[in-house]
Amino acid sequence: MAVRELEVIAPGPLATVQDLGRPGWSHLGVSRSGAADAASLTLANRLVGNPEDAAGLEVTFGGLRARLRLRRPDGTPATGYLALTGAPCPATVNGRPAALDAPVPVSDGDELALGMPTSGLRTYLAVRGGLTPPPSLGSRATDLLSGTGPAPLHAGATLPVGEPAGPMPGVDHAPRSAPPAEFVLRVWLGPRDDWFEEASLRDFFGARWEATSKSNRVGIRLSGPALQRSRTGELPAEGMVRGALQVPPNGQPVLFLVDHPVTGGYPVIGVVHEDDLPLAGQIPPGAPIRFRPVGTPV
């Protein structure tokens, strides 16, 4: 019988199965979820000839060790490919260096090991054929807030790998820039910027914010000047989107990421531009962040 699976030896701090998410379920309290850096996941899939929405692994802060099990129906060893994108990190296959942003040939029994990223936060692993655990609500993405999708990976977990859906692309390498030392994100003001003093709006765009250690796939808690409200009282619950910058009473914004709640009761001062959301998904704790109004140079 054919065997196609990925065996987790060690997951590192956090490794989850991710695809492009499950849109259309917010009325049930389930956000879209999916890869925090969707651009990196889709690139990894393209490099191994998968559909862009195939499931792969999102590895936070490295540390993953995994073994490929690839055997033909007659039991003989088979070969395949994997690709690593996103946060650059030391990577080896059977102890030999493995390239990033490139298809890497692998065989039955090969062991992949990832070190800690040198910049950014999340590294993406795609295996030719895609990971195929059972979907939930039409997606294989792990949503940490709602608990939908596969559980975060643990040592000994095995994930089935599908059959290749198409030919390998004729690409040897897809070079791109590593995540920056300082993250600059474009922001649309509103819808509740009128709840804040003019001085706070200047501080919001003028300050150098810092991502705190109390951050995850739900959101990034920021540290900086306390933003002061010009209005008192509370809002009724409103819908939330990925990229919303919600400001709780302490004046320290929270940048919502992919596993965000679908509603919230604190004012949203602005929303990160959609094109900058993959970059936001790579912000590690301690990183400096600056916001720029949409339409200004970054």
Instruction: Give the pLDDT score at 165.
Output: 87
Comparison of pLDDT for 100 and 297, the residue scoring more:
100
Extract the runs of DSSP E, i.e. beta strands, from 77-182.
79-86, 91-93, 96-97, 103-107, 111-114, 122-127, 158-160
How many Å separate Cα 197 from the centre of its chain?
A: 33
- Which sign does the torsion angle of CA 25, 27, 30, 36 carry? positive
Average pLDDT in the chain: 96
**Residue 16 carries which side chain, given as an amino acid letter?**
T
58-80 per-residue burial string, b: 16 or more CB within 10 A, e: under 16: bbbbbbbbbbbbbbeeeeeebeb
Whether the per-residue pLDDT at 51 is higher than 70: the answer is yes
Helix (H) or strand (E) holding 39: helix 38-47
Chain region(s) in the chain for CATH 2.40.100.10: 183-293
The whole-number average pLDDT for the span 188-207 is: 96
Whether the per-residue pLDDT at 216 is higher than 80: the answer is yes
Beta bridge partners of 17: 57
Residues 6 or more apart whose Cβ sits within 8 Å of residue 191: 268
Task: Of 258, 280, 120, give the one whose Cα is nearest residue 209.
Answer: 280
Where residue 296 falls among pLDDT bands split at 50, 70, 90?
confident
Extract the runs of DSSP E, i.e. beta strands, from 43-110.
56-60, 65-71, 79-86, 91-93, 96-97, 103-107
115-163 tens-digit pLDDT: 999 999 999 999 999 999 999 999 999 999 999 999 999 999 999 999 9
Whether the per-residue pLDDT at 298 is higher than 70: the answer is no
Whether the per-residue pLDDT at 83 is higher than 60: the answer is yes
Local structure of 45: helix, strand or coil: helix
Asked if residues 108 and 92 have their Cβ atoms less than 8 Å apart, the reply is no
The whole-number average pLDDT for the span 203-211 is: 98
Where residue 295 falls among pLDDT bands split at 50, 70, 90?
confident
Distances (CA, A) of 55 to 88, 101, 283: 20, 17, 22
Spatial separation of the C-alpha atoms in residues 298 and 283, rounded to whole Å: 17
Whether the per-residue pLDDT at 110 is higher than 80: the answer is yes
- Looking at residue 249, what DSSP letter applies? T
Whether the per-residue pLDDT at 297 is higher than 80: the answer is no
Given the candidates 2.40.100.10, 1.20.200.10, 2.60.40.10, 3.40.50.2300, the CATH classification of the domain at 183-293 is 2.40.100.10
Where residue 176 falls among pLDDT bands split at 50, 70, 90?
confident
